[in-house]
Amino acid sequence: MSADPSHASEETPHAHDQAAEVAHAWEHFWENARFFACFFSVVLLTVIAWSINFGPTWNFVAVVFFAAARSLLIAYFMSTLFKQFSFVTWTFIFGLIFLIGMIFLSMWDSELKHIGNPIYNTKDPASMKL
């Protein structure tokens, strides 16, 4: 249908390589198993750490540390899902960026303490009353 040979090649379906697909499927399986082993350990440690009172400062450090560990593992898991699908990956990455942006802008434009109401005059609250 197309005079452009490169376009014509794009319309040719990929050859089906069963052995490669089986190998890919096993690879995905072991990635899942590794994720399970790591995530199980991290969640178990998180729950144990949650049951211990280290004091205000170290409680905060523990929460941040385990939240970061979980986030990294989830990022790893997502990468195992997306690594071959750049079209979808980029859609999701941009979706996430926009979501974070939307959350930030909504909070910025809200009445929330410390974050929202950027034009509020904290030095002279009376001046803000209508």
* Site residues (vs other proteins, CB under 8 A): 10-14, 16, 18, 21-22, 25-26, 28-29, 32-33, 35-36, 39-40, 43-44, 46-47, 50-56, 58-59, 67, 70, 74, 77-78, 81, 84-88, 91-92, 95, 99, 102-103, 106-107, 110-113, 115
- Nearer to other proteins by Cβ, of 101 and 128: the residue is 101
Return the exposure string of 69-94: e unless at least 16 CB atoms fall within 10 Å of the residue's CB, then b: beeebeeebeeeebeeeeeeeeeeee
- Nearer to other proteins by Cβ, of 53 and 127: the residue is 53
Please state the closest distance from residue 7 (CB atom) to other proteins, in A.
10
Amino acid (1-letter code) at residue 39: F
- Nearer to other proteins by Cβ, of 5 and 127: the residue is 5
Please state the closest distance from residue 90 (CB atom) to other proteins, in A.
12
For residue 70, what are the contacts with CB-CB under 8 A and spacing of at least 6? 39, 42, 43, 46
Phi-psi region of 55 (alpha: psi -120 to 50; beta: other; left: phi over 0): left
- Nearer to other proteins by Cβ, of 57 and 127: the residue is 57
